[in-house]
Structure 1
Amino acid sequence: MTSNFWARLYVKVCSKMGKSALAFMLSLLIFIILFLTMSIFAIAILFMLKYGLIHGMIEPTIFGPIIFLILSSAVVGTTLTALFSRIPLKPIRRVVQACNKVADGDFSVRLPVSAIEEFNIFARSFNRMTEELGSLEMLRSDFVNNFSHEFKTPIVSLRGFAKILKNPHLSEEERNEYLDIMISESDRLTELATNVLTLTAIENLNIISSKTEFDLSEQVRRSVLILESKWADKNLEMIIDLEDITYLGNDDLLSQVWINLIDNAIKFSPNNGKIKIKLKSHEKGIAFKIMDNGYGMSEESQKHVFDKFYQGDQSHSTDGNGLGLAIVNKIVKLHDGEILIDSEVGVGTSFTVTLPQ
């Protein structure tokens, strides 16, 4: 308690000292400007007197008024500046107070419009910054809450079924059923941990240093085959149109892009549905497009589809943890590419990945 009191007192004293120091510096600056101006004026007059450029006054007569003018102007100017410095410094004080609030975690603070255009530009930039910080704070909070929920749910499930298995009167069929559920929940935990580690690793990357040249079309085919059991279980028709393309990039990272996008399309496709996959080259680079005839997404869901742990319409939620598309988005950006989504509720969804050649 005592340490907090002294900390708050120190902050208040520093804040007061900061305001006084700012006013003092402004007064000192005005004083220096006035003093230099009057000194240059006095030197110029003395120079002209010395070389006879002006007449009518002897040097001692004019020197006294000049000194008096220099000193009186400096004193009066500095005094007025000290008295009225609070007016021009008011916007700066607002900025200092707003910055202190942001440092304390209050991202709702906004700077008002000022009569000075330069301060207006700064205010708009500051307000935009606090708005973005507020959004990031909400996203961080949601991330923590969602991660805790996603991580806790399978653990609770595993614990519950483990207790049930201790019952000696369970039939062999029931025991196998519960074991299968526990295996499924374990896989879910493993996938969650893997995705979080992957996302953390790629978020710390700014550039991709390990690039190799590989067959992109073959990589997409291999991704489709990896997920064959999933689309075969739903009896999905896979319509694949791949142009033979060689690409220079990170083989492992891009493989995750295609697997996540195809897996996402399979999850949200109805039984006996269709998935179309196209890979084409064009003037600006390479375009990969995947389309399904699943549930589709609302405009609001499309805005957040690349956010961590976002799973859209919960009435159509399926197995997953909402990290796949966040990973896809980051990997595409690392390759200087772009990913676009086009979706309509009840019609389907398409993702288009554009990569530069």
Structure 2
Amino acid sequence: MNSKKIIQAYESTPSADLIPFMQNFSGISGNLLQLYNQEGKPLLVEKKEFLRLEHGYIERVLAGSTVSNIIIKENYFPIAGVPFQVNGQPYALFLTVEKNPIEAEIMNSIHVMYLIILFFGSLLIIVAARYIVNPILRLTAATKSMAKGKFDFELQTKRKDEIGQLTVSFNEMAKELSKLDRMRQDFVANVSHEIQSPLTSISGFTKALKQKKISEESRLRYLTIIEEESERLSRLSQNLLRLSYLQHQQQPLKVSTYRLDEQLRRVVIALEPQWTAKNIEIEVQLEAIPIQGDEDQLYQVWTNLLSNSIKFTPEHGKILIEAVMKGNQIIVSITDNGIGIPEEERADIFKPFHKVDKARDRSVKGNGLGLSIVKQIVDIHNGDIQVSGRPGTGSIFTVALPR
């Protein structure tokens, strides 16, 4: 109930006395009133000391002005002042409403709840931010280390979300880059070794030839060694160049249709001096197979694979060459009963300069590039090459090409 309604209620009851009437309204439903006469004196008994107004407010209302939003205490709503007259005498009625303590307590509880929610919400945001940001910071630091050429690290994570998957992928990338870096270092070291070794022999025997007192037999032997080492350097440079071309696909495929079985027979005949020198038995089981591919490059594949088998097959050994069609594939396999390849080394034998430990005998010629060249050519033809067998019982190289 506002002040104007209180005045209207009083005016509608002409027999009521002003002060008792106003006094009865004060305190009802939280309404607190004070009435001032023209001298500015309060006429109502104050139930709570809050309507101690400045004299200026009272004078303004007695002069006929209405005032509002007078703030005295924070536990009460703003005070409003309204002028009115009784029997020609001016009065000033001031009214406010006391805040309900239960409502105030509820509001205070709500404010406290807001503060608690804000606190824990902020805490959760900070924790969540650290949960998300810390792995990203570690990834950033690892990326900077990787940019400096450091790949030998692994980021630990137990997360299964996108950041966890990113971390796992990053670790896999670091491992692959580490392998590539080691391969690069090994490649440089192997090339240096493969070049330095024949150069050392050539240099040493050339100096020996400068000596005046040397027999004709020794001279011929030295020249033969120099010739062999020169040929070795020539093969190395040719294979390196061929491997580089294949890796960068700088040699376009010259596709033609020809008989694969006839090509395999020509390879066996071309390598006859090698396998007859070791009394190796060659058995061929070839179907009549037409094939589309680069004839020269695939000839290189069969030559390298068969030469490899001949190198590591003992005297009086046996090599089986098979070619069949299975579904949409042409399968060529070369099986020997040589020293075999350990299972742990099979994933690396197609890498440049890789040699199985048992194959590091100086009497066995080769620079470890033949199988790398084979792998590149087979890949270019959208094929696949696998090696199997057990150490000591031989190896089986299987090439699968699309029909």
Shared fold, TM over 0.5: yes
* Distance in structure 1 (CA, Å) of the matches to 2:386 and 2:158: 40
Q: Report the Cα offset of residue 114 of structure 1.
A: 5.5
* Structure 1 letter corresponding to 2:164: N
Give the equivalent residue in structure 2 for 1:243. Answer: 287
What is the root-mean-square deviation of aligned Cα atoms in Å? 2.5
* Distance in structure 2 (CA, Å) of the matches to 1:99 and 1:340: 35
* Distance in structure 2 (CA, Å) of the matches to 1:224 and 1:186: 27
Give the equivalent residue in structure 2 for 1:134. Answer: 178
* Distance in structure 2 (CA, Å) of the matches to 1:203 and 1:115: 38
Give the equivalent residue in structure 2 for 1:340. Answer: 386
Q: Is the 8 A contact 2:254 2:295 kept in 1?
A: no
* Distance in structure 2 (CA, Å) of the matches to 1:234 and 1:114: 58
* Distance in structure 1 (CA, Å) of the matches to 2:382 and 2:157: 38
Secondary structure class of the residue paired with 2:279: coil
Q: Report the Cα offset of residue 293 of structure 1.
A: 1.2
Aligned counterpart in structure 1 of residue 198 of structure 2, from 131, 144, 154: 154
Q: Is the 8 A contact 2:260 2:290 kept in 1?
A: yes
Secondary structure class of the residue paired with 1:168: coil
Q: Is the 8 A contact 2:378 2:385 kept in 1?
A: yes
* Structure 2 letter corresponding to 1:197: L
* Distance in structure 1 (CA, Å) of the matches to 2:273 and 2:348: 29
1:182 aligns with 2:226: yes
Give the equivalent residue in structure 2 for 1:261. Answer: 305
Greater Rg over alpha carbons, structure = 2
Q: Report the Cα offset of residue 224 of structure 1.
A: 1.5
Secondary structure class of the residue paired with 2:395: strand
1:327 aligns with 2:367: no
C-alpha offsets along residues 258-281 of structure 1, whole Å, 9 cap, x if unaligned? Answer: 000010011001112111111111
Q: Which has the higher strand share?
A: 2
Note the 1:32-111 alignment, pairs <5 A.
Answer: 84=126, 88-111=132-155
Q: Is the 8 A contact 1:296 1:345 kept in 2?
A: yes
Structure 1 runs of 4+ aligned residues shifted over 6 Å read none
Q: Report which structure shows greater RCO (CA 8 Å, sep ≥6).
A: 1
Give the equivalent residue in structure 2 for 1:145. Answer: 189
TM-score (norm 1): 0.74
> Cα distance 1:114–1:299, how it changes in 2: closer, same or farther (>3 A)?
closer
* Distance in structure 1 (CA, Å) of the matches to 2:227 and 2:340: 31
Secondary structure class of the residue paired with 2:346: helix
Q: Is the 8 A contact 2:312 2:359 kept in 1?
A: no
Q: Is the 8 A contact 2:278 2:314 kept in 1?
A: yes
C-alpha offsets along residues 157-196 of structure 1, whole Å, 9 cap, x if unaligned? Answer: 0111111111222211111111111111111111111110
Q: Is the 8 A contact 1:260 1:328 kept in 2?
A: yes
1:167 aligns with 2:211: yes
* Aligned residue pair count: 283
Give the equivalent residue in structure 2 for 1:305. Answer: 349
* Distance in structure 2 (CA, Å) of the matches to 1:87 and 1:245: 62
Please say which of residues 242-251 and 206-215 is displaced more in the overlay. 206-215
Q: Is the 8 A contact 1:208 1:334 kept in 2?
A: no
* Distance in structure 1 (CA, Å) of the matches to 2:302 and 2:159: 53
| Structure 2, unaligned runs of 5 or more | 1-117
Secondary structure class of the residue paired with 1:345: coil
C-alpha offsets along residues 92-149 of structure 1, whole Å, 9 cap, x if unaligned? Answer: 2222111111111111232331656111111111111001111111111111111110
1:293 aligns with 2:337: yes
> Cα distance 1:337–1:87, how it changes in 2: closer, same or farther (>3 A)?
closer
| Structure 1, unaligned runs of 5 or more | 1-75
* Structure 2 letter corresponding to 1:191: R
* Distance in structure 2 (CA, Å) of the matches to 1:116 and 1:167: 74
Q: Report the Cα offset of residue 215 of structure 1.
A: 1.7
Q: Is the 8 A contact 1:101 1:109 kept in 2?
A: no
C-alpha offsets along residues 305-333 of structure 1, whole Å, 9 cap, x if unaligned? Answer: 11110110246532100000011111111
Secondary structure class of the residue paired with 1:348: coil
* Structure 2 letter corresponding to 1:140: R
> Cα distance 1:115–1:226, how it changes in 2: closer, same or farther (>3 A)?
closer
Q: Is the 8 A contact 2:340 2:395 kept in 1?
A: yes
Percent same amino acid among aligned pairs?
39
> Cα distance 1:348–1:251, how it changes in 2: closer, same or farther (>3 A)?
same
Secondary structure class of the residue paired with 2:398: strand
